[in-house]
A = this chain, B = another copy of it.
Amino acid sequence: MIKVGVVGGTGYTGVELLRLLAQHPEVDLVAITSRGEAGTPVADMFPSLRGRVALAFSDPASAALEKCDLVFFATPNGVAMQQAPALLEAGVKVIDLAADFRLKDANVWEKWYGMPHTSQRWLAEAVYGLPEVNRKSIRKASLVANPGCYPTATQLGFLPLVESGCIDVSSLIADVKSGVSGAGRKAETHILFSEASDNFKAYGVPGHRHLPEISQGLTLAAGRAVGLTFVPHLTPMIRGIHATLYARITREADFQAIFEQRYAKEPFVDVLPPKSHPETRSVRASNICRIALHRPQNGNTLVVLSVIDNLVKGAAGQAVQNMNLMFDFDECTGLSHVPVLP
């Protein structure tokens, strides 16, 4: 059993993390902080946790997080880079579910996130928490930057191709669709039920913060700079990301075999048989990523379909997977929920 704290548990990433941690056999949840909700029992805000999480939100100042073995930050961007360093220096391990430590180049980070980066030292230390790429480093990390939801689905879908050297990495296209919970729990007009229901739209086409994150990961995998067009869309469902990925073939290969081999030992990546169409509900509330490969009309373009639950493999579940690695638990501990369908 390890002592775990959560900073900022009032958003969707936070409540999902609490759902998973409450069922994790190795976790003793000792503090959940929220400046705005200090004193409120967690289960009053999230009635799904009644009888399962007895804690109240506590004030960050008095939470004694430095006595934890691990602290998760489920906070807005910019918080972890301020507060995590003190914990790290006290020997507490940290997983940041926000974006503070995802981009290795602080200049790029500052451009996309619009604020100065205040912890470049720890930015250099941080390990990007995509286990399918960085499993070894994660095991030894003190600070893990948990990937974004779009970047998880997109990278897992593109990685085998990019690594294979068989596609044109200068013209990648990622047309990605997200459920509304990906936009967070802060009350904003465009994500009201009456705005987002029975509706579909693209957004952020000129530039979305997940673009540099995906590019960074794929560039590392390719060994050279990739060119990526990334178009996110808002879909009227609560959970789920569906990435539809397009790549032009430059060298023939058995692409299905490339995917199957790449992920043969991955516990949370499921490569479907050829010509499958994965549905987001097939991974709902689970940590699984399902991927299918197509070559329409036997042409020159590969189409990869990749689905995850944005709150699980795209956020809280992947964070727990990283925790399992960092503390040498079985990687699947507390993550074996069967997807909820229908």
B296 to A200, Cβ gap below 8 A?
no
Asked whether any CB of chain B lies closer than 8 Å to the CB of A322, the reply is: no
A180 CA / B237 CA spacing, docked (Å)? 14
Asked whether any CB of chain B lies closer than 8 Å to the CB of A67, the reply is: no
B338 to A22, Cβ gap below 8 A?
yes
Asked whether any CB of chain B lies closer than 8 Å to the CB of A69, the reply is: no
Partner of A303, one of B191, B231, B337: B231
Q: Fill in one digit per residue for A257-278: 1 if any B CB lies within 8 Å of its CB, else 0.
A: 0000000000000101001011
Asked whether any CB of chain B lies closer than 8 Å to the CB of A290, the reply is: yes
Asked whether any CB of chain B lies closer than 8 Å to the CB of A177, the reply is: yes
Asked whether any CB of chain B lies closer than 8 Å to the CB of A117, the reply is: no
Asked whether any CB of chain B lies closer than 8 Å to the CB of A15, the reply is: yes
A304 CA / B305 CA spacing, docked (Å)? 21
Asked whether any CB of chain B lies closer than 8 Å to the CB of A284, the reply is: yes
Q: In whole Å, how far is A274's beta carbon from the nearest beta carbon of chain B?
A: 9
Asked whether any CB of chain B lies closer than 8 Å to the CB of A101, the reply is: no
**Interface extent on A, as a size class?**
35 or more
Partner of A50, one of B46, B270, B296: B270
* Copies of this chain assembled into the complex: 4
A177 to B233, Cβ gap below 8 A?
yes
Within 8 A of B (CB), among A328-342: 336-342
A303 to B229, Cβ gap below 8 A?
yes
Q: Fill in one digit per residue for A231-272: 1 if any B CB lies within 8 Å of its CB, else 0.
A: 101011111101010101000000000000000000000101
**A296: which B residues are within 8 A, CB to CB?**
205-207, 229-231
Q: Closest residue of chain B to A47, judged by CB?
A: B282
Asked whether any CB of chain B lies closer than 8 Å to the CB of A51, the reply is: yes
Show 6 A/B contacts (Cβ-Cβ < 8 Å), sorted by A.
Answer: A47-B279, A47-B341, A181-B342, A195-B342, A236-B237, A340-B340
A→B interface (CB under 8 Å)? 12, 15, 19, 22-23, 46-52, 171, 173, 175, 177, 179-181, 185, 187-189, 191-203, 205-207, 211, 227, 229-231, 233, 235-240, 242, 244, 246, 248, 270, 272, 275, 277-286, 290, 294, 296-297, 299-301, 303, 305, 307, 311, 336-342
